[in-house]
Amino acid sequence: MDMTGNTILVTGGGSGIGRGLAEAFHHLGNRVIIAGRKSDVLAEVVAANPGMASHVIDVEDGAAIRGFAAAVMAAHPGLNVLINNAGIMRAEDVTVTPYDLSDAEAMIATNLLGPIRLTAALLPHLRAQARAAVLNVSSGLAFVPLSMTPTYSATKAAIHSWSQSLGHQLRATSVQVIELAPPAVATDLMPGSRSNPNAMTLENYIAATMALLTAHPEATEILVEPVKRLRGAEASGAYTAVFGMLNPA
């Protein structure tokens, strides 16, 4: 992936990792468009980063995605990079009767169907660019789940698998597919996430990720050091130990 000269759409760009990536690419001179559900939050980010643009979209709303994609392409015809970052993480207790599926269904719609739908809507446009990229944000929990967030972990495992297949199918095209798999990062993704003593700071995560993208422009997977234990747990034979570390009995 080229680090400059792009027009980049970042979903979930109003906060957390999305905002961090958007600002990092903006500072490199890219044209950056952030998207999210809250217009006031997006406006705040744009005001802090002159030249950045924003569009409102809730990626959980499948019916709205195609119209949103058309509007973005019309306003930004040079669009050549999509960062599928928008996501929600909610704890679930499957032992409660009845088991309320509303959170599970919202996470599947946002974290999995959202990236699939938006990529499908933009892919013909991206393939027409001389060089393009789709960056999918998964999670270390794609490889070792956190049992209190079963559906979130499952959606990220699915994004990992989908990214591999997407990249393979597009291998002969101009579109590069890159998976970003963050470890725990100190954001507001869930209550308590920002104060988690084991979480990587957002600033350090963004800096490390940008450094890896710069150093490895043809990479298909970006893994900062703290996530490697999760990513390699099964291959190294440490899966049971790592699962137990995340999910104490």
What pTM was computed for the model? Answer: 0.97
Question: Is-catalytic flag, 152?
Answer: yes
Residue 209: name the closest of 231, 195, 227, 234 by CA: 227
Per-residue pLDDT reduced to its tens digit, 63-122: 999 999 999 999 999 999 999 999 999 999 999 999 999 999 999 999 999 999 999 999
Place of tokens 């999670």: 139
Beta bridge partners of 11: 35
**CA–CA distances in Å: residue 168 to residues 111, 125, 196, 199, 246:** 21, 19, 36, 32, 31
The DSSP output letter for 201 is: P
Per-residue pLDDT reduced to its tens digit, 212-246: 999 999 999 999 999 999 999 999 999 999 999 99
Per-residue pLDDT reduced to its tens digit, 155-166: 999 999 999 999
pLDDT at residue 15 in the model:
97
Place of tokens 């499957």: 94
Domains, in order of start, for the chain: 7-246 (3.40.50.720)
- What is the C-alpha separation between 207 and 221, in angstroms, rounded? 16
pLDDT at residue 196 in the model:
92
Helix (H) or strand (E) holding 107: helix 102-107
Average confidence (pLDDT) over 120-125: 98
For the chain, give the longest Cα–Cα distance: 53
How would residue 131 be classed by pLDDT, with cut points 50, 70 and 90? Answer: very high
How would residue 173 be classed by pLDDT, with cut points 50, 70 and 90? Answer: very high
Per-residue pLDDT reduced to its tens digit, 204-214: 999 999 999 99
Question: What average pLDDT does the chain have?
Answer: 97
